Amino acid sequence: MIQDSHIWTEKYRPKNFKEVKGQEKIVEKVEAFVKNKNMPNLLFAGPAGIGKTTLALVAAKALFGESWKQNFLELNASDDRGIDVVRHTIKDFARTKAMGDVPFKIIYLDECDSLTKEAQQALRRTMEAFTNTTRFILSCNFSSKIIDPIQSRCAVFRFKPLEEKETEKVIDSIAKQESLILEGKAKKTLCELSEGDVRRVINILQSCAATTKKISEDLLYEMSAIARPKEVKEVLHLAVKGDFLKAREKLLDIMLHHGLSGLDIVKQIQKEIWDLDISDEAKIKLTDKCGEIEFRMVEGSDEFIQLEALLANFVKC
Ligand SMILES: Nc1ncnc2c1ncn2[C@@H]1O[C@H](COP(=O)(O)OP(=O)(O)OP(=O)(O)O)[C@@H](O)[C@H]1O
Ligand SMILES: [Mg+2]
């Protein structure tokens, strides 16, 4: 079934507990639930691409073997068609008992933090109604957005971005299977660029591999839509020196060249502030400003105008 055109995040998705990197304590507990064929409802919290869906799938496969597909339902809580459709699908699925010797089916509900409080109340009632036949694994980025009555009905697991040495294991294994060579400091650079998000690691590797098997740092920066820190630094130096026009020109150039969004740029600018040769007080002010600009962008205001305003602050400091 796996062809070369297959996306690597699926091709290299761990198939058993051992293949899941990092998250050791969580993996250990979930493995124990599976072994005992007894599991509470679970809440998986944490940022994107670090193994939440993967671990749920691994658990389902370990519990149900061949028939996992009949006993595992994956849904997105933020389904465009509304939470009612989600509830209907859940009801249909949970109406029948699990096959085999496991006394429950599993429903994996992604993006639960996108649900309103009311929808979460409804979800909580649904969870209660089907407790005899079903276990829920809820997934979210921020557990603080999940109402207490749901949290208290779940064992909460906090997933963390992978540490560098764990990320390296993923890179090494894929590089070996795809005969890729990571030149110079490329491996370290990839770890840094991905910030512990394995999906990002794998996607960047796959886009690089489409052009060449020899992966350089340059190619990584190009493919990851991230400007080199050096380039962003240059923009900031120009601005701090007072050359607003050159800074603005260079910034536009970087954005177009790398296809970066305003948000990508603000994040990088914010990282570079502390290395600038300006007073601590100015650094604090600029960091604060980055937060404000980021908020405005998220709210939908014109990205380039916001970036120019941010640059103006560097000139003033
Ligand atoms: N801990 C991990 N060990 C090995 N591979 C991983 C790990 N986490 C993620 N991956 C890889 O990244 C891909 C995406 O992971 P996954 O779907 O589990 O992310 P997620 O945590 O559910 O993210 P999201 O919040 O965006 O749904 C997987 O297909 C797998 O290839
Ligand atoms: Mg997921």
Tens of pLDDT along the chain (317 residues)?
444 558 899 999 999 999 999 999 999 999 999 999 999 999 999 999 999 999 999 999 999 999 999 999 999 887 767 777 888 889 899 888 887 889 999 999 999 988 888 889 989 999 999 999 999 999 999 999 999 999 999 999 999 999 999 999 999 999 999 999 999 999 999 999 999 999 999 999 998 998 899 999 999 988 887 777 788 999 999 999 999 999 999 998 888 877 788 888 999 899 899 989 999 999 999 999 999 999 999 888 898 899 999 999 999 88
Does ligand 1 lie within 6 Å of residue 202's CB atom? yes
Alpha carbon of 12 to ligand 2 centroid (Å): 15
Does ligand 1 lie within 6 Å of residue 52's CB atom? yes
Mapped onto helix, strand or coil, the DSSP state of residue 134 is strand
Test site for ligand 1: of 42, 58, 166, 199, most ligand atoms within 8 A of the Cβ: 199
Nearest alpha-carbon partner for 88 in 111, 107, 110: 107
Number of the ligand 1 atom closest to the C-alpha atom of 8: 31
* Separation of alpha carbons 45 and 92, rounded Å: 27
Does ligand 1 lie within 6 Å of residue 203's CB atom? no
User: 105: part of which helix (H) or strand (E)?
Assistant: strand 105-110
Does ligand 1 lie within 6 Å of residue 12's CB atom? yes
Residues of the chain with CATH 1.10.8.60: 164-223
Does ligand 1 lie within 6 Å of residue 49's CB atom? yes
Residues of the chain with CATH 3.40.50.300: 23-158
Does ligand 1 lie within 6 Å of residue 199's CB atom? yes
Write b or e for each residue in 265-298: b if 16 or more Cβ atoms lie within 10 A of its Cβ, otherwise e.
bbebbbebbeebeeeeebeebbeebbeebbebbe
**pLDDT the model gives residue 4:** 52
The DSSP bridge partners found for residue 73 are 107
**pLDDT the model gives residue 164:** 96
This prediction's pTM: 0.81
Does ligand 1 lie within 6 Å of residue 53's CB atom? yes
**pLDDT the model gives residue 5:** 53
Three-state SS string across 180-224, please? CEECCCHHHHHHHHHCCCHHHHHHHHHHHHCCCCEECHHHHHHHC
* Alpha-carbon distance values, 249 to 25, 49, 192, 311 (Å): 49, 35, 27, 11
Q: Which ligand is nearest to the CA of 58?
A: 1
Number of the ligand 1 atom closest to the C-alpha atom of 12: 31
Q: Is the dihedral of CA 193, 195, 201, 203 positive or negative?
A: negative
Closest residue by CA, ligand 1 atom 30: 13
CATH assignment of 229-316, among 1.10.150.20, 1.20.272.10, 1.10.357.140, 1.10.3130.10: 1.20.272.10
**pLDDT the model gives residue 198:** 96
Residues of the chain with CATH 1.20.272.10: 229-316
Class of domain 164-223: mainly alpha
> Phi/psi at 136 (nearest 5 deg)?
-100, 140
Query: And the tokens for 107?
Result: 């429903």
**pLDDT the model gives residue 46:** 95
Class of domain 23-158: alpha beta
Q: Which ligand is nearest to the CA of 44?
A: 1
Does ligand 1 lie within 6 Å of residue 14's CB atom? yes
Alpha carbon of 13 to ligand 1 centroid (Å): 7
